[in-house]
Chain A
């Protein structure tokens, strides 16, 4: 079946859409189409990919305007009666064609206080914890760092608050550490003052695009916002803390 793919091409600000007419087969994903275009029409088309199984998070792009993994988007699910647009992520600096520079994310991650477990529970240096307690942060460990949530977040994408806001991916990362039953570190002040959790206005776009179906907003960001409220905006909780200090 013939279909038109409209791909964002170029670098250094000299960019434009280019149309490619491709014969697509049943079962193809968008990454297959991009590879086919590379093989048959545009060998210099730049795109980042690796596992082709939705687990490495490399082939993030915007397909018909929606942030998605190219390897997990079936061509059969798209409307092929009109051109399918494939664009690079909008929240990061463009390098070339479909490739963006996502290194900002790694710099952000380095600044988040690392896991700091309590003293071991057993003489052999091991810990004991209940599965039910660790299930909550385990959801966040599913993240493959595709950065689609960062891409769709309007605080980064439209308002470019990269200096003040760490984005949903790293709020999930912080939640995984902060809610861990063994962790003793306190990141709540950082969340408010440095990481900009207050910038999130709960659009839930990050949750909608997550290919791992992590409930980012409800299970990570809002609970972190509530912890910030405990610490900074709720006088009653602060009053109770005088009599019963928080244990980490």
Chain B
């Protein structure tokens, strides 16, 4: 387009617009919602305790710490206790959260949302913005957003792990130390967490592309066509799944934490 000759109106200043509606409300809600989650999850990761509830024979593990790489006694740690050479402040959540965090950070929905809410790029549609220089996702650092599909691969593994946690949460130790099948309120919380995260992950734009979107002809590939249709179906509500799963994964950690701290008692349903 190098031969383009245009004389354009002056760009508007930050927040300048003729819009009369509350255009600032949506980015504000996103800013508060994402900001609250980032603050809570960072705190929950650093605190390094009360992420597992084994009381009343339950087996509830916070999704922020799953899989538990290192843990204390009576905790389902994969590699046993935390090595002594690790600093005291080092929490096992640090080994986990970068993967789902990276998946959300590079997610196509969240990108659009936080570019508006946090970077004012733009603040909202047809609203003047802060900076005059713009490189978009065409060069560093944001060109790295193209790594999204690799975070997707990791997120799919996490769905399996969290589904296993939800399954483990259906088994309770009785007074004799035998495992019996049951359902507690925490079981439902952990199961809903997998469902919401699954709805979000399986509706991913990259997954939609990988299962069939990259092909122009799908009619002769029945499984890929069905997969593409299923992912597309979830993808249409990707924003809804993104927010539901974000809220619920935070609530799941909060629920397990409250039970582990003895603030809440888990309600055994079956």
Contact present for B217 and A164 (CB under 8 Å): no
Tell me if B136 is interfacial: C-beta within 8 Å of chain A: yes
Interface residues of A in 131-179 (CB under 8 A from B): 132-133, 152, 154-155, 157-166, 178-179
Contact present for B216 and A205 (CB under 8 Å): no
* In the complex, per-residue mask of B215-259: 1 if CB is within 8 Å of any chain A CB, else 0: 011111000010000000001101000000000000000000000
Contact present for B112 and A92 (CB under 8 Å): no
Tell me if A218 is interfacial: C-beta within 8 Å of chain B: yes
Contact present for B206 and A226 (CB under 8 Å): yes
User: Within 8 Å CB of A202, what residues of B?
Assistant: 108-109, 111-112, 115
Taking a contact as CB atoms closer than 8 A, the residue among A133, A155, A160 that contacts B216 in the complex is: A133
User: Within 8 Å CB of A181, what residues of B?
Assistant: 216-217
Taking a contact as CB atoms closer than 8 A, the residue among A196, A208, A217, A234 that contacts B138 in the complex is: A196
| Min CB–CB distance A91 → chain B (angstroms) | 7
Which of A152, A160, A166 has the most chain B CB atoms inside 10 A of its CB?
A160
Residue of B nearest to A196 (CB): B138
Contact present for A152 and B125 (CB under 8 Å): yes
User: Within 8 Å CB of B116, what residues of A?
Assistant: 203
Contact present for B136 and A226 (CB under 8 Å): no
Contact present for B146 and A91 (CB under 8 Å): no
Contact present for A130 and B137 (CB under 8 Å): no
Q: Place the interface of chain A in its size category.
A: 35 or more
| Min CB–CB distance A224 → chain B (angstroms) | 10
Contact present for A93 and B149 (CB under 8 Å): no
A199→B137 CA distance, assembly (Å): 5
**Which of A28-36, A37-45, A50-58, A63-71 is found at the contact surface with chain B?**
A63-71
| Min CB–CB distance A23 → chain B (angstroms) | 22
Tell me if B28 is interfacial: C-beta within 8 Å of chain A: no
**Which of B11-19, B75-83, B172-180 is found at the contact surface with chain A?**
B11-19
Contact present for B138 and A198 (CB under 8 Å): yes
Contact present for B19 and A94 (CB under 8 Å): no
A67→B127 CA distance, assembly (Å): 11
* In the complex, per-residue mask of B1-19: 1 if CB is within 8 Å of any chain A CB, else 0: 1111011110110000111
26 A/B residue pairs, CB under 8 Å, sorted by A: A64-B19, A65-B17, A92-B6, A93-B6, A101-B6, A108-B1, A108-B4, A111-B1, A132-B219, A133-B219, A158-B128, A160-B6, A162-B4, A163-B4, A181-B217, A199-B137, A201-B115, A201-B142, A205-B122, A218-B235, A218-B238, A223-B205, A229-B149, A229-B206, A233-B143, A234-B149
